[in-house]
């Protein structure tokens, strides 16, 4: 029976566990840096913090970072890469992924998500439930496309950016790194690094 180690005992971690079990993993074990005295997380075993995972990853067939914060997720993935831990991606069996799409390591694709032809999702990306990523899109490391958000074709999104629930991005745009796109925003022009965009049409927040 294959066991997956999941770093991040939270709601996002529960989603990761659900996808893992639906995808053929036999069991999951959780790690997290908070409340480390516990022995259980929901239905599953809890085995300690990040340091304990780094020291014991060899006991597991795979490791997945289930932390919603893009920056922290990127940092944890870097630690695991440095020790050659077996970082895996989690793909819900009811997502739709083109055979011509490319996924990095540590990616989560949730049920109902669609990745179109020649889209590329960087390491640690999250393509959440019911979201779509159009053809030829390039999403850099640890980008989160939230539930129900839609990214049209030929869009480039920089690392650590967040596309909020129900947001839409017009085709052909360039979205910088560490950009936050608000809930329901309609992005119709390029975004610079670090901007927060809200509204319809989306504009930088003052």
pLDDT of residue 191: 98
To the question of whether residue 33 is assigned a binding role by annotation, the answer is: yes
pLDDT of residue 1: 78
- The span from the CA of 8 to the CA of 98, in Å, is 29
β-sheet bridge partners, residue 41 = 44
Q: Count the neighbouring beta carbons within 10 Å of the beta carbon of residue 75.
A: 14
Task: Give the residue range(s) of CATH 2.160.10.10 domains in the chain.
Answer: 89-196
Q: Could you say which of 2.30.30.100, 3.40.228.10, 2.160.10.10, 2.60.40.10 is the CATH number of the domain covering 89-196?
A: 2.160.10.10
To the question of whether residue 123 is assigned a binding role by annotation, the answer is: no
In the numeric block, which tokens belong to residue 169? Answer: 């991005």
- Helix, strand, coil share (%) of the chain residues, nearest 5: 15, 30, 55
Q: Catalytic: 43?
A: no
Q: Check: CB of residue 163 under 8 Å from CB of residue 180.
A: no
pLDDT of residue 59: 94
Q: Could you say which of 3.30.200.20, 3.40.50.20, 3.10.20.30, 1.10.10.10 is the CATH number of the domain covering 3-88?
A: 3.40.50.20
pLDDT of residue 184: 98
74 CA to centre of own chain: 10
In the numeric block, which tokens belong to residue 92? Answer: 């819900």
To the question of whether residue 59 is assigned a binding role by annotation, the answer is: no
Q: How, if at all, do strands 132-133 and 150-151 pair?
A: parallel
To the question of whether residue 48 is assigned a binding role by annotation, the answer is: no
- Give the pLDDT of the chain (206 residues) as one tens digit per residue: 799 999 999 999 999 999 999 999 999 999 999 877 787 888 899 999 999 999 999 999 999 999 999 999 999 999 999 999 999 999 999 999 999 999 999 999 999 999 999 999 999 999 999 999 999 999 999 999 999 999 999 999 999 999 999 999 999 999 999 999 999 999 999 999 999 999 999 999 87
Marked catalytic residue, from 59, 135, 150, 156: 135
What pTM did the predictor assign?
0.95
To the question of whether residue 127 is assigned a binding role by annotation, the answer is: no
pLDDT of residue 127: 99
């Amino acid at each position: 029976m294959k066991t997956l180690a999941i770093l991040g005992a939270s709601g996002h971690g529960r989603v990761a566990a659900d996808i893992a079990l639906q995808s053929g993993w036999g069991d999951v074990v959780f790690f997290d840096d908070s409340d480390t005295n516990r022995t259980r997380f929901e239905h599953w075993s809890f085995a300690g913090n990040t340091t304990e995972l780094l020291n014991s990853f060899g006991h597991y067939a795979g490791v997945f970072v289930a932390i919603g914060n893009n920056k922290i997720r990127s940092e944890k993935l870097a630690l695991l890469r440095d020790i050659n831990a077996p970082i895996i991606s989690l793909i819900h069996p009811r997502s739709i992924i083109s055979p011509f799409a490319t996924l990095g390591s540590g990616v989560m694709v949730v049920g109902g998500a669609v990745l179109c032809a020649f889209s590329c999702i960087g390491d640690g990306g999250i393509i959440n439930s019911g979201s779509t990523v159009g053809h030829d899109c390039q999403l850099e490391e640890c980008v989160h496309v939230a539930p129900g958000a839609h990214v049209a074709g030929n869009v480039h999104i920089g690392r650590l950016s967040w596309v909020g629930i129900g947001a839409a991005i017009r085709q052909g745009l360039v979205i910088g790194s560490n950009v936050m796109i608000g809930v329901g925003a309609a992005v119709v022009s390029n975004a610079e690094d670090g901007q927060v965009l809200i509204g319809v049409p989306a504009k930088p927040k003052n």
